[in-house]
Amino acid sequence: MIDRYLTPDMKELWSEASRYRAWLKVELSALRVQAEIGEVPPSAYQDLLPLSEADPLDEAFAVRVAEIESVTRHDIVAFTTALTERYGDPARFIHHGLTSTDVVDTAQNLLLDEALTTVMADAEALRAVCRAQAVTYKHTPTIGRTHGIHAEPMTFGLKFLNWMTTLDRDLERLSAARGRVRVVMLSGSVGTYAHVSPQVEEQVAAAWGWQPAPVTNQTLARDRHAEVLSALAIFGTTLEKISVEIRHLQRSEVREAMEPFGKGQKGSSSMPHKKNPILTENVTGMARLLRGYLVTALENVPLWHERDISHSSAERVILPDATALASYATRRLAGVLEDLVVFPDRMLKNLNDLGGLVFSQRVLHLLIDDKQLSREAAYEIVQRSALRSWETGEGLRELLAADPENPLSDQELGEAFDLAWYLREVDHIYGRFGL
């Protein structure tokens, strides 16, 4: 991922040095159990652990691995060679009985677990912003739109409440996907445990609070990773859904809400008046990338026989990029919503701009319920005046009052055009969430 869209914590997590530290954690965890059960001498772990703690793997180590790999063309061989150079003879039992994918896949799960934990924390923070704004704008009237057209009154807070509950589902999916990769695979070549006891895998998993992979070949099944990318892609659609709404509300002819615009910010190189929704447009683009990464993850699931590495090159890109982008986009959107500029007066003006057309359903029901008209007859009366209102700009209430076929009195029409009536159940909806 380019630095422009990398948070400092994600940049560090997915660095080469961090990846090698994860590899070493897997190797040391396996070595500890192997020493305990007698597969290697006890000193193998006892001598190496303090060396690794006193001299942790850093960027210089990553550079050395790259130099060795340029010759060996094998990353794990380069890694173990560099470990021997760094720690000497105590490193000779590293990778005993294991195969490359045991280390790479299990360590990758460690990194994915941490990355997803970060993304989930970001999602929780975004949810908190939505909750707070839902409360702030709980009773702020605005017009609800269907097909982009004015429909009926609602409150601005209900938008945030909807987003909050969508994020709840996203968090459930992300948590389930994170659980799917919290598995340890240390089964050796083609997954038979021929050179390493199943106890190693089981005890390492128990020490981490994870699960041992119940059966593998020489790779972890990539449906696990596809599930992660699926959860991230769906999460991205939530971020995009919110962003698209903000972009629509910021349009000049709507202008009900807008992104914060900082001091010294410029909206255009040529038009000084411009204030553009650049932050939410940016999030929209990131959501498209997240969906694209999912396609690659799905294509990584079918591999040849017990192992090939066609997935490996793709995962070096899509896993860091997807988690890093999700984190960055979520933080960016949380900032937008927290500092959102809202125009309640403009919302009310827009709500009333169509001369009362948005109250047409209430009139329809009064004709049916109180005046005992058939639905078809009632609909004809209301639609006739509504269509004329669309064409002429005359108020719907006035047109209905002048219609000789309309049996509703002025008082009854007043009831039909009562904004508070449309919003009377908002408290009930919020009560479902204890708000």
Would you place residue 272 in the very low, low, confident or very high pLDDT band (cuts 50, 70, 90)? Answer: confident
Do 325 and 409 lie in a common domain? Answer: no
Average pLDDT over residues 205-229: 95
> Which of 13, 15, 16, 40 is closest to 28 using CA atoms?
40
Give the Cα separation of 99 and 112 in Å (integer).
20
Instruction: Tell me, yes or no, whether 44 and 115 share the same domain.
Output: no
For the entire predicted model, the pTM comes to 0.94
What pLDDT shows up at residue 198? 96
Collapse the DSSP code of 125 into the 3-class scheme (helix H, G, I; strand E, B; otherwise coil) and give the result: helix
Catalytic residue among 74, 195, 268, 310: 268
Q: Are strands 257-258 and 341-342 parallel, antiparallel or unpaired?
A: antiparallel
362 domain-assigned: yes
Report the pLDDT value the prediction gives residue 191, as an integer from 0 to 100: 92
Alpha carbon 278 to chain centroid distance?
A: 19
| 315 and 369 share one domain | no
Residue 421, domain member (yes or no): no
What is the structure's pLDDT at 350?
Answer: 97
**153 pairs with which residues across the strands?**
143
Q: Are both 327 and 362 inside the same structural domain? A: no
DSSP 89: G
| pLDDT 10s digits, 300-335 | 999 999 888 889 899 999 999 999 999 999 999 999
Contact (CB, 8 A) for 1 and 320? yes
- State the DSSP code for 222: T
Q: By residue range, what is the domain housing residue 379?
A: 357-416
Per-residue confidence (pLDDT) for residue 184, from 0 to 100: 97
How far is 252 from 350, CA to CA, in rounded Å?
12
User: Which of 96, 118, 148 is the last residue in one of the domains?
Assistant: 96
How does residue 194 score in pLDDT terms, banded at 50, 70 and 90? very high
Tokens of 238: 């939530």
Shared domain check, 147 and 179: yes
> Could you tell me the two tokens for 155?
């409150």
pLDDT at 120 exceeding the cut of 80: yes
Total tally of structural domains belonging to the chain = 3
Q: What is the pLDDT of residue 267?
A: 81
Give me the amino acid identity at 52.
Answer: S
Q: What is the CATH number of the domain that holds 387?
A: 1.10.40
Long-range contacts of the stretch 366-372 (C-beta < 8 A, 24+): 366/408, 366/412, 366/415, 366/416, 367/406, 367/407, 367/408, 370/408, 370/412, 371/407, 371/408
Question: Binning pLDDT at 50, 70 and 90, where does residue 49 land?
Answer: very high
Tokens of 315: 């995962």
User: Rounded to whole angstroms, how far apart are CA atoms 77 and 64?
Assistant: 12
Could you tell me if residue 424 is inside a domain? no
302 occurs within a structural domain: yes
**Same domain for 308 and 203?**
yes
Q: Parallel, antiparallel, or unpaired: how do β-strands 211-212 and 183-184 relate?
A: parallel
The SS3 call for residue 259 is coil
Q: Are residues 251 and 380 in the same domain?
A: no
Q: Are residues 85 and 175 in the same domain?
A: no
**Average pLDDT across the chain, whole number:** 95
In a domain, 428, yes or no: no
pLDDT of 271 reads: 85
Residue 265 has what pLDDT? 84
CATH number (domain holding residue 32) = 1.10.275.10
Q: Is 147 a catalytic residue?
A: yes
Residue 431 inside a domain? The answer is: no
User: Do 163 and 281 sit in the same domain of this protein?
Assistant: yes
The last residue of one of the domains, among 328, 347, 366, is 347
Residue pair 426/152 in contact by the 8 Å Cβ criterion: no
Tell me what the mean pLDDT of segment 210-219 comes to: 93
Write the CATH number for 157. Answer: 1.20.200.10
306/210 same-domain check: yes
Task: Report the percent of the chain where pLDDT is more than 70.
Answer: 100
* Pair of tokens at residue 196: 């390493």
The pLDDT of 74-83, averaged and rounded, is: 95
Note whether 192 and 336 are same-domain residues: yes
Residue 143 has a CB neighbour count (10 Å cut-off) of 22
Question: Are 199 and 33 in contact, with CB atoms under 8 Å apart?
Answer: yes
Is residue 195 within 8 Å of residue 270, measured between CB atoms? no
Is 187 among the catalytic positions? no
Calpha distance 165→185 (Å, rounded): 36
Of 70, 147, 270, 313, the active-site residue reads: 147
Kindly state whether residues 105 and 8 are assigned to the same domain. no
Q: How confident is the model at residue 231 (pLDDT cuts 50, 70, 90)?
A: very high
Boundary residue ending a domain (293, 314, 347): 347
Q: Is the pLDDT of residue 1 over 80?
A: no
